[in-house]
Amino acid sequence: MQILFQSHHAEVSERIRERARTAVTKLSARLARAVNAVVRFESDGPTRRVEIVLHAPRRPAMVAEGSARFFGPALTYAIDRLDAQTRQVKRTPKTRGRKITRA
């Protein structure tokens, strides 16, 4: 899966980018054949905004946004919203059965 980072008027540390990369790869594992993700960091005055767009075939793009004073909490809000969206993805009986047998 390809992850694209975009920064608009923002200086983003490598630590925040790594947190976003690990979170997106974990969440994309729930989707079958996730193609790419775009993580946008924006800064406008005191507000920092993080937007994550996750693309998978035969599905509408999943978009999650988080805003806060710093990029860390904004990224956490966006990840939580994307996590809620990926939890609602319909899974086949075969994949549901795999989760039950692992537990």
Distance (Å, rounded) from C-alpha 43 to C-alpha 99? 40
pTM (whole model) above 0.85: no
How many degrees, rounded to 5, is the angle at CA 78 between CA 76 and CA 79? 65
Identify the pLDDT of residue 98: 67
**Residue 58: CATH number of its domain:** 3.30.160.100
The reported pLDDT for the residue numbered 102 is 45
Token pair recorded at residue 4: 């694209």
Report pLDDT digits (tens) over 69-87.
999 999 999 999 999 998 8
Number of domains comprising the chain = 1
At 66, give phi and psi (nearest 5°): -135, 135
pLDDT, position 100: 55
Domain that holds residue 95: 2-102
Selected residue with higher pLDDT from 102 and 42: 42
Residue type for 40, please? Answer: R
In the chain, what is the greatest distance between 2 CA atoms, to the nearest angstrom?
50
Distance CA 100, CA 87 (A): 16
Number of other CB atoms surrounding residue 32 within 10 Å: 14
